[in-house]
Amino acid sequence: MHRIKAVLLSTAEDWHGGEQQALLLAQGLRRHDHDCQVLARRGAPFAQRLRAGGFPVTEFLGKGWNPVAQWSIRCQLRRWQPDILHFNDSHALTTGGCASWGMRRIIRVVSRRGSAPPRSAIRYRCFADRVVCVSRAVAGACAAAGIENRRLRVVYDGVDPHRVWSGNRNRGRRSLQLTAPDQVVVCVASLTEPKGHACLLTAWAQVLKNQPLAQLVLVGDGPLSRPLKRQAQALGIGHAVKFLGYREDVPDLIQAADVCTLASHLEGLGSSLIDAMLAGRPVVTSTAGGIPELLGDETVPVAWTVAPQNPIGLAAALVSALRSPEEAARRAARARRRAMQYFVAPQMIRQTIKLYDQALSQARWSGGRTRRPDRNTTATSWASGFDTP
């Protein structure tokens, strides 16, 4: 494998799971002796953190759609002449796709993390040689939207286990001002509609009828912060719900949990669930999107699962997990082993580099251009050559 020159392009204004995955990828590329540069939105956390990590960063204004930003991006690509241009979000696909138009030597890769079908499949066909999907559910949604199967690859998200293991339960519980007998359920997710917080709050009102001293902790920020707080007050459960916003001490908070939960009705995979699994915390979750791929064979359960948008079922599962510490410990131990096998950062990095190398080899074989994907290729090619659970 020759040394790869890669550019990671992000238009994200905030820091979420996708940006954490890109940081891990950049660090992995460097560890494997590949070169990595960054194109990022000016002033965004992605630019700041990658620069602090020692990566060369070129910033552009806004989402990069204005002529000045487009010219800046294109000039940087011409100067550096990367092998791979990896778009880390859907807006970056348009920004970088337009800026790199006509540069045939560059292999263009885009990450797709949402389980909803893409709004415009033509952008992916025009601007992406490969679409890296975080689960088979995401790949299926892309295929259903009209993206050719040969473009699609499945590479599961991977978490840095050492970051998760750095968490301290006592420190986390102190920060939450919990006493020894208090039970706490933690949800780490941006406060957006697909994450299902409204369903979770409705379920929590039922949980409190059985576990009146339990606390629900919501970690993350987003546009639904105020409506969700109003909902909690309207349900009469405001005293039992903590809205923490964005936090840097997520590993401590996960370790502090008696149960971790996610109530999404749209979910690519669920990296916060991987954190919980690696931490050995019991999990209660919906079965939205790629989450079943994360949890594996339900004949030997690693978590409590319910259908999306089912507050009654979610409440029952949460009560069961809180009341069954021995069973919770067994499931958590199985979940930890599964996460260590399939969903750690080194696995994600190795498979992404392998994807890069395969795309570059194909381009060299076809004279510098990627071969046109075959619309009739079967869905089994999504994960061809990659380890899957």
Phi, psi of 77 (to 5 degrees): -65, -40
pLDDT at site 96: 95
Contact in structure between 277 and 304 (CB atoms under 8 Å): no
Question: What sections of 146-185 are H helices per DSSP?
Answer: 161-165, 169-175
pLDDT at site 366: 66
- Helix, coil or strand: residue 193: helix
Q: Which two tokens stand for residue 40?
A: 């990022």
- Helix, coil or strand: residue 381: helix
List, for residues 132-146, the tens digit of each pLDDT value: 999 999 999 999 999
pTM across the whole model: 0.90
Domain covering 5-158+345-379 assigned CATH 3.40.50.2000 in the classification = yes
Amino acid at 221: D
Separation between Cα atoms, residue 281 and residue 297, nearest integer Å: 19
- Relative orientation angle of helices 90-99 and 67-80, to the nearest 10 degrees: 70
Please choose, from the candidates 339, 360, 13, 355, the residue with its C-alpha nearest in 3D space to the C-alpha of residue 154: 355
List, for residues 340-387, the tens digit of each pLDDT value: 999 999 999 999 999 999 999 988 776 554 444 444 443 445 554 445
Mean pLDDT to the nearest integer, 169-178: 93
Between 48 and 119, where is the model more confident?
48
- Helix, coil or strand: residue 348: helix
Contact in structure between 358 and 156 (CB atoms under 8 Å): no
Separation between Cα atoms, residue 270 and residue 284, nearest integer Å: 12
pLDDT at site 185: 98
Strands (E), the chain: 5-10, 35-41, 57-60, 84-87, 107-112, 130-133, 152-154, 184-188, 215-219, 241-245, 259-262, 283-286, 304-306
Mean pLDDT to the nearest integer, 7-23: 94
Q: Classify 161-342 by CATH class.
A: alpha beta
Measured CA distances, 196 to 14, 187, 199, 290 (Å):
20, 11, 5, 15
All CATH 3.40.50.2000 domain ranges of the chain, comma separated, are 5-158+345-379, 161-342
pLDDT at site 229: 98
